[in-house]
C-alpha cells in the first residue's frame, strides 16, 4: 500500500486510543522517503504498525528488504521485531508469516564465513560463539560490554564477531569495513563504545562485509544482535555474560 496512510489529527494529539488511528495520523510514501533519505532506501509500502503510535514502513536497498518503524511524531525511527508477549509471537503488519525470529532457529556454524570475523577471547578454543552485530546498534553495544566480560570468565570460548551493518545505520557500513579489515580489538571496542574510529581506505574491508551481509540475508538474519551457539541454535537479543557462558555450555 504505497501512498498516504491516514489523515491529520484534528486536535493535534498523537493519542487515538479507542479510535481508528488512520483517521488521525498520516505518513505518505513521499514523507517516508524524505525521513529515511539518509538510509538510502526505497519505500515499498506503509501500514499502521501492530503497536499503537507507529507506522510500519516496508523498504529495500539493493537486494535487502526489511521493515522500519516511524513514530507518529515523525521524530524517531527503529528497526527490529515486534513480539507479542502472550505466546512470544513475532508480529508484523506486512506479512502473515512471522519474521525470522521464529522462522529460523538453527544455522550450521560450519557454514558461517568465520574468516571474516574479528575474534575475541581464545582464537583456538573448541567452543565458538558467533555474534552478528552492528557497531551503531544500541542493543549490540550493550551486548558487546557483556562479551568483554565473557572473555574474562570463559577463557575456553572463541567469540567470533561478524560485523553486520544494518540499512538504518548509514555510518555503520564504513565502520564495519574498517574493523573487519584491521581486526584490531582496541578499535572494535572503541566503535562499540560509540567513539570515533578512522574511515576505511577506498575498498578496504568491502568484500568481507558484503560477504557477511550476503550470508546473513540468505539465512534470514534480519536483526542484530543475533548469536549462533556452538550447536547452531540462534539467540536473538542481549544476554548478560553469565547467561552467555551457560548458553555456550549448553546449560
Instruction: Report pLDDT digits (tens) over 214-239.
Output: 999 888 887 889 999 999 999 988 99
> Residue 5: is its pLDDT beyond 60?
no
CA distance linking residue 153 with residue 160, whole number of Å: 16
Q: What domains does the chain contain, in order, with CATH numbers?
A: 21-103 (3.10.450.70), 109-248 (3.40.30.10)
Q: Is the pLDDT of residue 9 over 50?
A: no
C-alpha 4 chain-centroid distance = 27
Least trusted range by pLDDT, from 7-21, 96-110, 194-208:
7-21
pLDDT in tens, 168-178: 788 899 999 99
The pLDDT of residue 22 is: 63
> CA 142 to CA 222: how far, in whole Å?
19
On the question of pLDDT at 124 being above 80, the answer is: yes
Return mean pLDDT, the chain: 84
Is the pTM higher than 0.85? The answer reads no
All 3 cell numbers of residue 161? 564477531
Question: Residue 206, Cβ neighbours under 10 Å: how many?
Answer: 16
Residue of 125, 94, 106 lying closest to 226 (CA atoms): 106
Per residue in 11-48, pLDDT tens?
A: 344 455 555 666 678 888 888 888 988 877 778 888 99
Separation between Cα atoms, residue 196 and residue 193, nearest integer Å:
9
pLDDT higher than 60, residue 1: no
Q: What is the pLDDT of residues 47-56, one digit of tens each?
A: 999 888 899 9
- What is the per-residue pLDDT for 194? 92
Confidence of residue 120 (pLDDT cuts 50, 70, 90): very high
Going through the chain in order, the beta strands assigned E by DSSP cover 42-48, 54-61, 64-71, 77-78, 82-84, 89-91, 118-121, 127-133, 157-163, 226-228, 234-236
Contact 29, 3 (CB under 8 A): yes
pLDDT computed for residue 218 by the predictor? 86
Looking at 12-117, which runs of residues are DSSP E strands? 42-48, 54-61, 64-71, 77-78, 82-84, 89-91
- What is the per-residue pLDDT for 8? 44
Give mean pLDDT, residues 184-199.
Answer: 95
Amino acid at each position: 500500500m504505497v501512498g498516504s496512510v491516514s489523515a491529520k489529527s484534528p486536535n493535534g494529539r498523537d493519542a487515538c486510543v479507542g479510535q481508528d488511528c488512520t483517521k488521525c495520523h498520516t505518513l505518505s510514501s513521499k514523507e517516508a522517503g524524505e525521513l529515511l533519505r539518509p538510509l538510502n532506501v526505497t519505500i515499498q509500502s506503509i501500514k499502521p504498525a501492530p503497536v499503537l503510535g507507529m507506522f510500519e514502513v516496508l523498504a529495500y536497498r539493493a537486494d535487502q528488504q526489511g521493515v522500519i518503524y516511524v513514530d507518529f511524531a515523525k521524530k524517531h525511527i527503529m528497526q527490529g521485531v515486534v513480539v507479542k508477549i502472550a505466546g512470544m509471537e513475532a508480529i508484523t503488519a506486512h506479512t502473515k508469516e512471522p519474521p525470522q525470529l521464529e522462522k529460523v532457529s538453527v544455522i550450521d556454524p560450519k557454514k558461517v564465513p568465520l574468516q571474516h570475523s574479528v575474534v575475541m577471547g581464545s582464537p583456538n578454543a573448541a567452543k565458538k560463539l558467533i555474534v552478528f552485530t552492528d557497531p551503531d546498534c544500541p542493543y549490540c553495544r550493550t551486548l558487546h560490554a557483556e562479551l568483554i566480560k565473557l572473555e574474562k570468565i570463559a577463557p575456553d570460548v572463541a567469540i567470533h564477531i561478524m560485523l553486520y551493518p544494518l540499512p538504518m545505520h548509514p555510518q555503520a557500513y564504513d565502520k564495519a569495513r574498517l574493523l573487519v579489515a584491521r581486526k584490531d580489538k582496541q578499535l572494535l571496542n572503541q566503535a562499540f563504545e560509540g567513539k570515533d574510529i578512522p574511515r576505511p581506505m577506498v575498498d578496504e574491508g568491502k568484500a568481507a562485509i558484503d560477504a557477511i551481509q550476503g550470508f546473513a540475508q540468505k539465512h534470514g538474519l534480519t536483526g542484530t544482535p543475533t548469536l549462533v551457539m556452538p550447536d547452531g541454535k540462534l539467540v536473538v537479543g542481549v544476554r548478560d555474560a553469565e547467561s552467555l557462558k551457560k548458553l555456550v555450555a549448553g546449560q
